[in-house]
Amino acid sequence: MNKETLTVYTDKDGTIRYYNVDGQFHNTGGPAIVWADGHKEHWINGKLHNENGPAVIWPDGNEEYWIDDQLHNPDGPAVVGADGYKAHYINGQRHNANGPAVIFANGYKAHYINGNKLTEAEFKAWQTEQTAK
């Protein structure tokens, strides 16, 4: 088994960055960037990517799920705000076949399918069409 070689830099402010041999942000064992304020980013070969949880974690509690440099979470929202904001993404497009793809902290909700915004009536019609297939 080949063990990969990573280059690690720590800035004067305490930010730690991991790079692969090609100079891309990369760390399969954890975040590739750990900012001095606690912000963490998971990168694999220069792409935001984490198959095991959020790829970006902000100090305020916000989280973002990324796969291959695209917002993506088939199991729930890909963006989760500490204030209650939630946004569902599949392959970089807002999408939720089960309900609103975006829910704001103030209660506003928006439906999206494959990146296209739908009214609630259009969304319900789309769902009915899908179950008829």
pLDDT at position 2: 62
Q: Is 63 in contact with 54 (CB distance < 8 Å)?
A: yes
pLDDT at position 132: 87
pLDDT at position 133: 78
pLDDT at position 82: 95
pLDDT at position 81: 97
DSSP per position, 19-40: E-TTS-B--TTS-SEE-TTS-E
pLDDT at position 96: 98
pLDDT less than 70: residues of the chain: 1-2
Task: Give the Cα separation of 95 and 109 in Å (integer).
Answer: 13
Q: Which residue type is seen at 102?
A: V
Please give the backbone phi and psi of residue 8, each rounded to the nearest 5 degrees, phi first: -120, 130
- Reported in sequence order, the residue ranges of 21-132 that DSSP labels E, i.e. its strands, are 33-34, 40-41, 43-44, 47-48, 56-57, 63-64, 66-67, 70-71, 79-80, 86-87, 89-90, 93-94, 102-103, 109-113, 116-118
Q: Mind listing the pLDDT tens digit for each residue in 18-37?
A: 999 999 999 999 999 999 99
